[in-house]
Amino acid sequence: MIADFKAPLMTAEEYLKWEEKQPIKYEYINGKVWAMMGGSLPHNSIALNLASALKSHLRKQGCKVFMADAKVGVSSHGPFHYPDIMVTYDSRDQTARKVVYYPCLIVEVLSPSTEGFDRGKKFRHYRRIETLKEYVLVDAERMNVECYRLNEHNKWELTSYSVEEVATNATELEIQLTCVNFRSSISSLYEDVVCPDENLEDSVSS
């Protein structure tokens, strides 16, 4: 994500109209626009694996699953972001054409250049969405998933799923997303993905 210093400060309404005419996607924060950069192949594979599984699981349940080209609005005044995956059950989103405002689940696949932003400022933005119940961060460098879940006391709790923590356990590690009643093995999420750590281990062992 790179700031476009040539673009003037805009209102949210001006941004929405302006972005429609741009050849690439832009996020919007406090009047400024930020160009969205392409992700790595592992990043793409992980997002596709999870989105496909969610789509299959939630079919005919009255919800929608969106990938990276779908924009989420924290409010009608912004900020506006492009999550890797989001799910909405809300009827107000069912006929939306440009922006989703009421997701229950948002997933970001971490990239080295954006990890700090996804964990920090972006999560602070997302927490302002009244319908959001779970925020998930998926590491593209190693098999690790972090799920921030809103509990009954309206506090965000972290559940971490890492193969490193269950290395001696014969049971397949399973990820749970409670707001959509979804379960998946972590290996399914990382199917066809070769993590850098695995390449390093292979070179050392050879």
What are the residue ranges spanned by the domains of the chain? 1-37, 40-205
Mean pLDDT confidence for 100-120: 93
Q: Dihedral through CA 72, CA 93, CA 55, CA 139, nearest 10?
A: 20
Residue 170's pLDDT is: 55
Q: Higher-confidence residue: 60 or 155?
A: 155
Convert 41-60 to b/e letters by CB count within 10 Å (16 or more is b). Answer: ebbbbbbbbbbebbbebbee
Task: Please list, in sequence order, all residues whose beta carbon lies within 8 angstroms of the beta carbon of residue 174, skipping any fewer than 6 positions away.
Answer: 161, 183, 184, 185, 186
pTM to 2 decimal places: 0.90
111 vs 151 pLDDT, higher one: 151
Q: Among 3.10.20.90, 2.40.30.170, 3.30.70.20, 3.90.1570.10, what is the CATH number of 40-205?
A: 3.90.1570.10
pLDDT of residue 114: 84
What is the mean pLDDT of the segment spanning 146-164? 94
Quote the Cα angle for 172-40-123, to 5°: 75
Q: How far apart are CA 80 and CA 70, in angstroms?
A: 10
pLDDT attached to residue 112: 84
What are φ and ψ of residue 108, in 5° steps? -120, 130
Residue 206 banded pLDDT, cuts 50, 70, 90: very low
Mean pLDDT over each residue of the chain, to the nearest integer: 90
